[in-house]
A and B are shown apart, each in its own frame.
Chain A
Amino acid sequence: MAIDLPFIWAGIIAFAVLAYVIVDGFDLGVGILFPWLKTKHDRDVAMNSIAPVWDGNETWLVLGGGGLYAAFPLAYAVALPALYAPLIAMLLGLVFRGVAFEFRWRTERGRFLWDWAFAGGSMLAALCQGIALGALVQGIKVSGRAYGGGWYDWLTPFSVMTGVALVIGYALLGATWLVMKTTGDLQQRARRFAIMSGGGTVALIGVVSLWTPFLNPVFMSRWFAFPAILYTLPVPLAVAGMTLLLFRSLLAGREAQPFVAALGLFVLSYIGLGISLYPEIVPPSITIWQAAAPDKSLEFLLIGTLILVPIIVAYMAHAYWVFRGKVDVAAGYHE
């Protein structure tokens, strides 16, 4: 067979997950920063900056899950029970924050409750996504065609570390988004949040990067053995460059560049993760070829994906274009 369909699908799902992490990352990040936005005005503006796009952002998560189910059913069937508690908690977090977008405008007395639901749900979802990622990276026990580990296997110092790292990383995305979309006092505050969360993000990228190779000898050889190191070394160097760009642009008062730099940090971390994991989809034992659905399934959905995803990206980009520029402070988005 000429075309390696599982490889193509691994690429598509990796793209969907990356798209999710960067687009929902900033709107979860706005939720994470919510408790530090004190006035109703600031909260209204922050929420309105993401209200028209959050639903589309979250759809990438459904594509990641649905695509995994379709293309790698074995990986879906093993990984999801293994990550049961963090995934259920993430879903509940997403419920709380998702309804808050509508509910907080429907009540005055109860608004503080939905502000907390928005902030708490966003934090919980981000923390659980990070924990689930860490638990996947550290490895999942498999017996036969099913999860073979225990109920708390996902909970380790490493997974907690990745959970915290993702919360702070999303906060950086949210803060730089607000720098780009707001003005005045709120923008100044967002800039300070970005500097703090940027420092935290870079530090935690370092910790997780140094920790990961020690989890699995395969990861170690991919990163540090010669000559592999010649190919992997550009990644940490690019992270260093991106960090410099982030802080220089923040300190220089730039508006869009910090957001771009924060996205760059996420993309680079993601590439690093891919270097560690590929070609395993459920480390350490299931590869993308073992988990793949038959070619007939992969082909059928691939045709639609190749046609539809570019169209989706185009109209999503159009939606962002319609709502481009600063959040209109004079009228909010309520007009």
Chain B
Amino acid sequence: MTQMDALDLARLQFAFTMASHIIFPAFSIGLASYLGVLEGLWLVTGRDVFLQVYKYWLKIFAVVFGMGVVSGIVMSYQFGTNWSAYADKTGAVIGPLMGYEVLTAFFLEAGFLGIMLFGAQRVGRGLHFAATVLVAVGTLFSAFWILSANSWMQTPTGYAVNDAGQFIPEDWWNVVFNPSFPYRLVHMVLAAYLTTAFAVGAVGAWHLLREPENASARVMFSMALWMAALVAPLQLIAGDRHGLNTLEHQPAKIAAMEGHFESRGSVPLILFGLPDVAAAETRYAVAIPHLGSLILTHSWDGEVKGLADWPRADWPNVTILFFCFRIMVGLGLAMIGLGLWSLWHRWRGTLFTARWLQRAAILMGPAGFVALLAGWFVTETGRQPYTVYGLLRTADSVSPLAAPALASSVAAFVIVYLAVFGAGIFYLLRMMGKPPQTEEAEPVGGVPIRSAGITPGAALPRAPATVPSS
């Protein structure tokens, strides 16, 4: 056992709090857009089923969003508490991007969330729909700015360095639209949409297996699988373009993802293997000749750099990258497969009776979250050993804190997050386990569902139960 030093603990804390956080905003981004589409469909078609599905997911959205907010505030302060040297050096460049995230996204979401959740009876339908759409737009603005900041750390452009060693902005356009940003933004937003689609699809499938006639479950399942069939292949293309961009700007990251240690032409595509970092080779590799060159250089025997071209001190963690990348791609391919399978059943007219498809969709429910986290680990650990790629080392970014201080805060975060978010996920699963009904406004065991209810009619029978006689 090696003693963890302050740097390791600070990294562990960041990885843990970030990984816990990212799943909630990703789910919120997808759900907010989905809710906007559902409410729009309800307003246009007047079909009650869209409203029922809207109400069902609105309650879930409220819980997910709340967990995203509280875990996000932690992130915005952690740059200063744990990474103060990084904050001092990058504040002039990254700070304004995060400032714009707060001004354009967080306030917009927060300002209209109240109306979206509680305001259905206090404002008109048009304004309520506008609130839903604005919350969705806010989540996308948030993704825009935070991914711009994240991408700048990966592919910094538009900056200069001053006497104090601080990065200072030279050209804001180049800072915001740095080379990896467009690829990362598209890849991440599609990932958020797919994550949500598979979660919604699994809930729809779960209830279809029990009640094949449930109209709300049918809407969920059908819409989700359209997303799988259309967006999962798009994500493959977006991921490929993102990978080529990474090869251009961060070739060491690609070498680690692919398990390439030697630079060579005609590289094979390693499907599976076991990277042995000490020996600088990938053992037991199952590989397809030439395919690596074909994918990465789009030529039969193009040369690809291996990790040996860089000093070991500059290598990222090969093992994490190699495996997380395969988990992400494998799940992505499985998503495409499920999408194609659903198209076949749709064409045959058996989408709602295809029990094995529904079971597979339940199995794939968490796939988006897992793929998202795996992809996040790939891109973030692939940036190591730097915080600002090639320019500022992680070891030079950390706060001057003693290991015991960090150890206690890591422990506190782990305990609190496991308890709080564990409970939250339990409540989410319980909500998802409830069949979507036309009486969506019924209280759970006498507990009022404060965020439910769009029409007074649906809420009326419940009103007496909300307040005991006083």
Contacts and interface: CB of A to CB of B under 8 A. Distances in A.
Interface of A: 39-41, 44, 48, 51-53, 55-56, 58-59, 61-63, 65-74, 76-81, 84-85, 87-88, 91-92, 94-96, 98-99, 101-103, 105-108, 110-111, 117, 145-147, 151, 185, 293-294, 296-297, 300-301, 304-305, 308-309, 312, 315-316, 318-319, 322-323, 329-335
Chain B binding surface SS class: helix
Given A88-B81, A294-B92, A319-B111, 20 more contacts: A51-B114, A55-B113, A69-B76, A70-B98, A76-B84, A77-B84, A77-B91, A85-B409, A94-B70, A95-B417, A103-B427, A106-B431, A106-B444, A146-B399, A151-B402, A293-B91, A305-B99, A315-B108, A334-B448, A335-B120
Contacts of A58: 69, 73, 110
A85 B405 contact: yes
Contacts of A59: 102, 106-107, 110
A147 B400 contact: yes
Given A51-B450, A297-B92, A77 B85 contact: yes
A335 B453 contact: yes
Chain A binding surface SS class: helix
Interface residue range, chain B:
35 or more
Contacts of B126: none
Nearest to B409: A88
B166 to A, nearest CB: 7
Given A56-B111, A331-B466, A145 B164 contact: yes
Contact of A74 (B70, B88, B424): B88
A66 B95 contact: yes
Interface string B302-342: 00000000000000000000000000000000000000000
A122 B423 CA distance: 19
Contacts of A105: 447-450
Given A103-B427, A335-B453, A322 B123 contact: yes
B466 A334 contact: yes
Contact of B459 (A67, A77, A309, A331): A331
Given A55-B114, A300-B169, A301-B99, A69 B80 contact: yes
B43 to A, nearest CB: 20
B426 to A, nearest CB: 9
Contacts of A65: 76-77, 80
Contact of A99 (B110, B424, B470): B424
B103 interface: yes
A329 B467 contact: yes
A70 B103 contact: no
Contacts of A297: 91-93, 95-96, 168-169
B346 interface: no
A71 B99 CA distance: 9
Nearest to A149: B400
A106 B430 contact: yes
B99 A80 contact: no
A63 B218 CA distance: 42
Contacts of A301: 95-96, 99-100
A72 B100 CA distance: 15
12 contacts: A41-B468, A55-B113, A55-B114, A63-B99, A99-B66, A110-B423, A145-B85, A294-B92, A297-B91, A323-B122, A329-B467, A331-B459
A80 B69 contact: no
Interface in B144-164: 162, 164
Given A95-B420, A334-B466, A316 B91 contact: no
A53 B412 CA distance: 28
A300 B174 CA distance: 13
A83 to B, nearest CB: 8
